[in-house]
């Protein structure tokens, strides 16, 4: 190909950044090492929006078990993140989200904030200006119905008898994502029993409904499937009261058995807040005594999600120790040095102990006969390991000591290859979870009912199999590569399902293409490089916010540069062979300029996502290990050490 497709850039005559680069790597390394736990792992805070802290307050009022100190801390947090628009956004600096704002207002009022307080008046005005509480989403409708603030007829019908449906039926729990499954099952019991919150202070929020309006049943839109499911919802609403009681009792028992099998100790059902909270309310509504060990354990699991610090207390949606530990180890291996390598060894040994080798989880419904071998995202979630964590952890183990960690890496690769989808890609928790018609049931207005294959997870899985280079995985690698190339956007980027957004997806894909041996001069790589360079901001960094997930929104753009997204762009460009490009030097300069005296970076924007357009995340660890990783790799490549780009990340 022509040299114009991949120009060579002359190295600068001097290395003015060399001393600063060494200092930056050293400072970030020391800071990351200082955050390692005694047993070798890392676990950073994981922050979402106002929804989870608000729901925790409301759960206490549902149960009439109010911890005044916890409530005060969470209420302070909610006040502190209220937007200038008067409501609460889904991510830092975002627009008002109606449902999050309703829950935050309700929680603050329950916590004792007077409705006529200035911040409450601003919130109320903003909510009413958006049509009021009658326009909220399905999960908020259920919350309001539990407190008697919205009639149950405004909530989509989800009969608990779903638990008894055969797998060939168009709707079955194995046909939705793990997170939907674990949230829905205890919720089905709540929808059947329709319990009423104890609400000891008698809090109401009728003032959030526009005068003369009433919530009507939620309706799906956008497809003939929507019309069909809306009609089915109307039919179920009429006939559900006539369902046989014995059938309902059997369905409730099936749901309870599902939950109890997966209760997961003090890590909770699915190890995610919504499923865990629904479990507590389900057991309470079934009149489990307060001293029942299962109910006590479920409540303890929720309390472990709290971050209680003076002046800043909130509830996390889940915890991320496996993800944090693996990524920290990747960064430290790149940073090198005795202290970094020793710490990485301890972290990797911790990971090996948490590989799931025994429990055959829900994923086996569509992949029977595949042996378990993955990792969960959290401390424990044996029924729900995920492909992204498994590939990331196995790549780290293989890079550190291929011979020493051969057995756990081989089991991970076997599981990952066995979980490949029919189209060649990989999803997060399940295989072939592509029943897209289910997104049109009225209940699924969040648009995240399913777990289809995505470019970022597929890139990680392909990266592992290519890094291993074993003949056993040649067919899987070929199919994965074909999938990844098909997923490239017209502008040259890749979509990022779990990180924001096209910058994250492009970094993931470029790393996989590199280790898979794709020519760096090939059109897919050159298009991605051109796109990343075009998205660099004037300050040398990169930044993209959650708006990019909305249809028609610009790709790769945001209000400000962030350290983590700049690191992703740099790692992607370096994987594509562009270490000498001026854009890379400017990006490194941005990271060095913005590094703080504590050795890490400050980062308020949310650079990750739980459910696009619905639920966003701020990983507090991203500002620690990703910038270090990028700085260290740049230093290594400039010194002529190409080893880092021989791996899938």
Both 292 and 350 in one domain: the answer is no
Residue 133 in any domain: the answer is yes
**Using CA atoms, how far apart are residues 18 and 23, in angstroms rounded to an integer?**
9
Q: Is 49 a catalytic residue?
A: no
DSSP per residue over 147-210, as a string?
TTSS-GGGSPP--GGGGG--TTSSS-GGGS-HHHHHHHHHHHHHHHH------TT----GGGSP
Both 86 and 223 in one domain: the answer is yes
Find out whether 487 and 495 touch, Cβ atoms under 8 Å. yes
Find out whether 525 and 477 touch, Cβ atoms under 8 Å. no
Catalytic entry in 388, 398, 430, 456: 388
Site of tokens 């060399």:
18
Closest CA to 580 of 15, 1, 2: 15
- Pairing between strand 306-309 and 46-47? unpaired
Question: What's the Cα-to-Cα distance from 275 to each of 28, 51, 177, 261, 318, rounded to whole Å?
Answer: 36, 14, 13, 14, 11
Question: What's the Cα-to-Cα distance from 563 to each of 148, 301, 304, 518, 636, rounded to whole Å?
Answer: 45, 32, 29, 28, 19
Find out whether 455 and 492 touch, Cβ atoms under 8 Å. no
What's the confidence (pLDDT) of residue 15? 57
**Using CA atoms, how far apart are residues 458 and 440, in angstroms rounded to an integer?**
26
Beta bridge partners of 307: 314
The pLDDT tens digits of the residues spanning 68-78 come to: 999 999 999 99
Q: Which secondary-structure segment (H or E) carries 278? A: helix 273-285
Residue 23 in any domain: the answer is no
Residues (pLDDT < 70) of the chain are 1-16, 643-644
DSSP per residue over 389-433, as a string?
HHHHHHHHHHHH-TTTTHHHHHHHHHHHHHT--TTS-B-SSSSSB
Closest CA to 600 of 92, 19, 21, 30: 30
The pLDDT tens digits of the residues spanning 510-524 come to: 999 999 999 999 999
HSE value, Cβ hemisphere, 13 Å, CA-based, for 164:
11
**Using CA atoms, how far apart are residues 628 and 607, in angstroms rounded to an integer?**
17
**Using CA atoms, how far apart are residues 310 and 71, in angstroms rounded to an integer?**
13
Residues with Cβ within 8 Å of residue 484, at least 6 apart in sequence: 425, 455, 458, 459, 462, 494, 509, 512, 513
Is the alpha carbon torsion for 614, 619, 625, 628 positive or negative? positive
Both 108 and 126 in one domain: the answer is yes
Q: Which secondary-structure segment (H or E) carries 312? A: strand 312-315
**Using CA atoms, how far apart are residues 142 and 164, in angstroms rounded to an integer?**
23
Closest CA to 480 of 497, 501, 457: 457
Residue 451 in any domain: the answer is no
What's the confidence (pLDDT) of residue 355? 98
Closest CA to 374 of 432, 302, 451, 431: 431
Closest CA to 179 of 384, 480, 415, 336: 384
Residue 549 in any domain: the answer is yes
Both 609 and 512 in one domain: the answer is yes
**Using CA atoms, how far apart are residues 500 and 556, in angstroms rounded to an integer?**
9
Both 359 and 232 in one domain: the answer is no
Structure token pair of residue 141: 């409708």
Both 336 and 293 in one domain: the answer is no
Beta bridge partners of 386: 375
Helix H segments across 204-272?
A: 224-239, 245-261
CA angle 382, 386, 392 (to 5 degrees): 120
Measured torsion, CA atoms of residues 580, 586, 588, 592, in degrees rounded to the nearest 10: 150
433: phi then psi, degrees, rounded to nearest 5: -90, 70
Give how many domains the chain has, as a whole number: 3
Closest CA to 159 of 436, 441, 446, 361: 441
What's the confidence (pLDDT) of residue 213? 77
Closest CA to 316 of 74, 549, 112, 62: 74
Residues with Cβ within 8 Å of residue 479, at least 6 apart in sequence: 420, 424
Residue 559 in any domain: the answer is yes
Both 287 and 342 in one domain: the answer is no
Measured torsion, CA atoms of residues 516, 10, 537, 459, in degrees rounded to the nearest 10: 0
Q: Which secondary-structure segment (H or E) carries 26? A: helix 18-34
Closest CA to 187 of 215, 226, 155, 218: 155
Both 263 and 406 in one domain: the answer is no
CA 516, distance to chain mean position in Å, is: 26
For 558-625, give the secondary structure using H, E and C: CCCCEHHHHHHHHHHHHHCCCCCCHHHHHHHHHHHHHCCCCCCCCCCCCCEEEECCCEEEEECCHHHH
**Using CA atoms, how far apart are residues 321 and 43, in angstroms rounded to an integer?**
4
Both 429 and 284 in one domain: the answer is no
Residue ranges making up the domain that contains 161: 50-204+215-315
What's the confidence (pLDDT) of residue 7? 35
**Using CA atoms, how far apart are residues 460 and 453, in angstroms rounded to an integer?**
12
Both 304 and 325 in one domain: the answer is no
**Using CA atoms, how far apart are residues 323 and 79, in angstroms rounded to an integer?**
30
**Using CA atoms, how far apart are residues 449 and 436, in angstroms rounded to an integer?**
9
Closest CA to 442 of 97, 158, 171: 158
Residue 381 in any domain: the answer is yes
CA 385, distance to chain mean position in Å, is: 14
Residue 21 in any domain: the answer is no
Both 284 and 356 in one domain: the answer is no
**Using CA atoms, how far apart are residues 30 and 427, in angstroms rounded to an integer?**
35
Residue 369 in any domain: the answer is no
What's the confidence (pLDDT) of residue 8? 35
CATH number of the domain that 310 lies in?
Answer: 1.50.10.20
Both 335 and 260 in one domain: the answer is no
Find out whether 120 and 108 touch, Cβ atoms under 8 Å. yes
Which one-letter DSSP state was computed for residue 375? Answer: B
Structure token pair of residue 240: 């559900």
What's the confidence (pLDDT) of residue 221? 82
């Amino acid at each position: 190909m022509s040299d114009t497709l991949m120009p060579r850039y002359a190295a600068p005559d001097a290395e003015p950044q060399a001393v600063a680069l060494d200092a930056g790597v050293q400072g970030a390394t020391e800071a990351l090492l200082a955050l390692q736990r005694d047993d070798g792992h890392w676990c950073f805070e994981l922050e979402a929006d106002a929804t989870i802290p608000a729901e925790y307050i409301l759960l206490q009022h549902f149960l009439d078990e109010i911890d005044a100190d916890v409530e005060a801390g969470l209420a302070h947090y909610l006040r502190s993140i209220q937007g200038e628009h008067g409501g609460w956004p889904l991510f830092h600096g975002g627009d008002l989200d109606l449902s999050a704002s309703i829950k935050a207002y309700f929680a603050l009022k329950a916590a004792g904030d007077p409705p006529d307080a200035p911040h409450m008046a601003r919130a109320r005005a903003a909510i009413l200006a958006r049509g009021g509480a009658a326009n909220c989403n399905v999960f908020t409708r259920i919350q309001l119905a539990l407190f008697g603030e919205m009639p149950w007829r405004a909530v989509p019908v989800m009969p608990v008898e779903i638990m008894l449906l055969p797998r060939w039926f168009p709707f079955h729990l194995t046909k939705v994502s793990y997170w939907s499954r674990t949230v829905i099952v205890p919720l089905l019991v709540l929808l059947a029993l329709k319990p009423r919150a104890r609400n000891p202070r008698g809090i109401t929020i009728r003032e959030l409904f526009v005068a003369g309006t009433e919530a009507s049943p939620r309706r799906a839109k956008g497809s003939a499937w929507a019309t069909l499911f809306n009609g089915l919802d109307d039919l179920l609403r009429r006939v559900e009261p006539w369902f046989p009681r014995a059938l309902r009792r059997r369905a409730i028992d099936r749901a309870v058995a599902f939950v109890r099998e997966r209760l997961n100790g003090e890590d909770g059902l699915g190890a995610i807040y919504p499923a865990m909270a629904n479990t507590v309310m389900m057991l309470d509504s079934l009149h489990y005594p307060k001293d029942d060990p299962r109910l006590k354990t479920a409540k303890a699991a929720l309390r472990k999600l709290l971050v209680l610090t003076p002046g800043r207390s909130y509830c996390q949606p889940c915890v991320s120790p496996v993800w944090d530990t693996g990524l920290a180890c990747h960064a430290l291996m790149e940073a090198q040095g005795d202290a970094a390598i020793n710490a990485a060894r301890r972290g990797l040994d911790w990971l090996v102990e948490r590989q799931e080798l025994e429990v055959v989880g829900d994923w086996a419904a569509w992949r029977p006969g595949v042996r378990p071998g993955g990792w969960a995202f959290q401390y424990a979630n044996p029924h729900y390991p995920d492909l992204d964590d498994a590939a990331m952890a196995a790549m780290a183990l293989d890079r550190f000591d291929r011979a020493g960690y051969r057995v756990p890496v081989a089991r991970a690769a076997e599981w990952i290859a066995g979980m490949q989808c029919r189209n060649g890609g990989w999803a997060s928790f399940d295989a072939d979870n592509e029943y897209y018609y289910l997104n049109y049931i009225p209940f699924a207005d969040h648009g995240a009912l399913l777990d289809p294959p995505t470019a970022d997870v597929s890139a990680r899985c392909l990266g592992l199999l290519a890094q291993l280079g074993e003949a056993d995985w040649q067919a899987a690698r070929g199919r994965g590569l074909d999938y990844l190339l098909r997923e490239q956007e017209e502008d040259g980027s890749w979509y990022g399902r779990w990180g924001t957004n096209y910058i994250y997806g492009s970094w993931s894909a470029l790393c996989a293409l590199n280790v898979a041996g794709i020519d760096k001069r090939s059109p897919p790589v050159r298009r991605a490089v051109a796109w990343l360079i075009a998205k660099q901001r004037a300050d040398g960094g990169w930044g993209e916010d959650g708006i990019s997930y909305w249809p028609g929104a610009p790709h790769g753009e945001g209000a400000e540069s962030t350290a983590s997204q700049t690191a992703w762009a740099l790692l992607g460009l370096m994987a594509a062979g562009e270490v000498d490009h001026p854009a890379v030097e400017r990006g490194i300069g941005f990271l060095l300029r913005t590094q703080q005296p504590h050795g890490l970076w400050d980062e308020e924007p949310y650079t990750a996502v739980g459910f696009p357009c619905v639920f966003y995340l701020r990983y507090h660890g991203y500002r620690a290990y990703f910038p270090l990783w990028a700085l260290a790799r740049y230093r290594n490549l400039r010194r002529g050490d190409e080893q880092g780009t021989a791996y899938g990340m």
